Structure 1
Amino acid sequence: MHKNLLLFVTFFIFIFSSKSQIISSELIDNALMKAKEENKYVFVNYRVESCELSKKLEHQMTNETCKPLYNTSYVVVDIVLPENKAKTYFGSIDNRVKTNTKVKGFPFWYILDNDGNFIEMSYDANGNNIGYPTTKKKVNEFIKIVSKTSKLTERKLNIIANSLHIQNNEQLLSGK
């Protein structure tokens, strides 16, 4: 855990100004401790202040219907980046995560186990950022990741999916 956490903190040293880095690292460090105590994963969400999709994902994860569902499996860390810092993230995750994908947009999120190991990130099988899932296909990809990393039943996963579809003004087809 300490080795992975040290690598993770080192990553932020190169990305953030020292004040932002300390705040972000503390948030994630505290979340990892809480996740360990509660046997949960950590859902780290990077969003940009001015990004509408970032705001939608935050709303999705904090609305009164879905927040309790997410909170059963995750300690959620919401890191808000000012607009002028966001551009420094594009491509920067590549060396931290063993993948060919790069940060391509916001919101960008990933899931850690309670030892600080990467489990999943906001990319579909084709390397496209799911971010806030705006289409039925992206909602399905998002739900697939949440299903793999949570303790949620199919009924509760459907509540989250329906909430996303409603927020997107899409109709959920009964046949999946």
Structure 2
Amino acid sequence: MRIPLFFLLLVNLSFSQKVNFETTVDDAFRKAKKENKLVFIEYYNEECTICKSIEPLFSNKEMADFYNKNFVSYKINTKGGLQGKDSLFMAETKIKFQGVPYFMFFDQNKNFIHYSGAKSDLDYLLNIGKTALNPEQRTGSLQAKYDAGDRTIKTLYAYTDVAQLYQDDELSNTISNQLFEVYPKQNLGTRQSYLILKNSVFSIDNGFFIYWYQNRSNLKDFEKGSKSGEEIKVLERIVLESIQKQKSNWDLIQIEKVKEYTIGLGLSKSGNDFLWEEEAQLLLKNNQHSEAILLMQSLLEESQNNLFSTLYITEIFLNFTLDKVTLQTILSELEKLTKQEMDVEQKADMYYQQLLCLKKLKEDKKLDELKKVATKFYSDHTLDITNLNKI
């Protein structure tokens, strides 16, 4: 039976009305090699609102004709986490997106060449594809430009985005510092400077952060709509990220500077909320025992109504000191707790810390007396006395 020509044309037309997606990532790259095309991958989540709004555009004729002509397409759905070969593929790329949706492009050998965030706008999505086809404009050209010495604002700004994509903090900070070096200082108070701060700065040591912190009263009117008035949160984010990633490398001078930032930005009233453990260890390590005691007393004053916090604070100082005065101060603070109501675990912790203090102070008689009391308490409440016996 012969199929009418008009029917074949109708079928072909119906298929051309949508972007054709391969069923597996391996199929996509096999077909790309066969047809000598790039691979386009939509990285999305089927429950994402923006992703849902983009989906109908894949059935737009202009979109379908352009993407089917120039790319072999595939989708990676992140719902429920990456699975199987999709997970392995993303691990191989070393790309780590923080959200969805993104459009990614690869050559036939799985080399990453371009990416962009996506939105429900036909021209925008077409331009993403056109940029991916242009070797001079696509993301993959940025490293070559940078390595060749290109230090223009445009290249550096775009390249920080790529460094973030690979979560390369060292490279991100290096590029953002270079960006500040070449940026016209007379333009530091502009919206462009704010956008660089927002999108390309991740360290409190960067010049854009320092400028905007010092001029934070002017950090306003750059955001619109639902984000209006939230400019200060960019500085807060940079401080908190710096604490998370860099605190282990900081000395006491740097810690004091960061405490000033947390107070100035309203993240902390006293400055003791984020770095007190690191500060305590450094003070004790440097034999600055008087300063350590003052810090501990300040912390205990702030947490006087929180027994859990109090015991945690004394434990940290106890673990890092052999100084007699500091130990006596800790013992005195623990003694105050005996007058408070506490649960079994808290009282057991208090006994343990008291015993450890007495051991470090070499007060053997008091140690033996208290150990008998503590051992009975542990036994009465069927608690593990292994650590107690080590004292």
Under a length normalisation based on structure 1, what TM-score does the superposition of the two structures give? 0.49
* Structure with the larger RCO, 1 or 2 (CA within 8 Å, 6+ apart): 1
By percentage of residues, which structure has more helix? 2
Question: When you count strand as a share of all residues, which structure comes out higher?
Answer: 1
TM-score by length of structure 2 reads: 0.24
Give the greater-gyration-radius structure (CA). Answer: 2
